[in-house]
A = this chain, B = another copy of it.
Amino acid sequence: MTPDLPPPPVSRQILDVLEALLFATDEPLSTGQLTELLEYLSEQDRPRPLNADTILSCIAYMNREYEVQGRTFRIKPIAGGYQFATLPEFGIWLGRLVRERSKRKLSVSALESLAVIAYKQPVTKPEIEAIRGVNADYVLRTLMERNLVTIVGRASTPGRPLLYGTTREFLKHFGLNDLADLPKPREIDELMAEAEYEVEKRMLRELEEKREAEEGKDEASGLHLVDGDE
């Protein structure tokens, strides 16, 4: 059914390792980097010669395989290296994915403002800005667009500034029944403070490591009772 491919330029094992490396990397890999990584292969498994040309012919071979097998991705040269990429004709489908991805995260500053509003509500913009030290216009707008924050009234202070508060949507997202369910400042401090016990445990661990290093001996686990003075 599938047209036959010429024999691979190197062993299947090398092709497999290359494929896995290119699949899992978080940045394009240059032929130099790939050569280096393949050097971990045992002497007899290594491609001969092991150089950039070998790598390039492997990549070309794999791409032919993907084409013949009707795969929707190829290994592409990107930024001085090589990387898997889906074929451009699927861009419209990936666009839908990416849109969702880019919307996923609230920015740090939006999250901080949201937190301030949640805890201080009803709160005016100047109050939010006083705590965060920066202009809050943009984040407030974003949060309101996302229906996490809403205008809840006006302060009775001069100028009658608008008051902001969180929405039902906000409660729903964080699994809260009502605002009283928000962790209290005291609880937050508890969560954020390092337990003293941990400090001791770390000390103990360090001591232990030092001793082991000194004694230069290996040990399994737990309290070891050693027959001491004899």
Contact = CB atoms under 8 A, between A and B. Distances in A.
Given A2-B1, A21-B93, A101 B195 contact: no
B90 A191 contact: no
Contacts of A197: 134-135, 138
Contacts of A138: 194-195, 197-198
A70 B154 CA distance: 52
B191 A17 contact: no
Contacts of A183: 151, 162
Interface stretch (A22-30, A48-56, A211-219): A22-30
Contacts of A24: 86, 90, 94, 97-98
A207 interface: no
Contacts of A21: 90, 93-94, 97
Contacts of A77: none
A14 to B, nearest CB: 11
Given A2-B1, A138-B197, A192-B141, A23 B73 contact: yes
B27 A73 contact: no
A12 B175 CA distance: 28
A152 to B, nearest CB: 5
B96 A37 contact: yes
Given A4-B1, A24-B97, A19 B72 contact: yes
A206 interface: no
A62 to B, nearest CB: 10
Given A21-B94, A137-B195, A151-B175, 8 more contacts: A16-B70, A21-B97, A26-B98, A40-B93, A65-B69, A138-B194, A138-B198, A141-B194
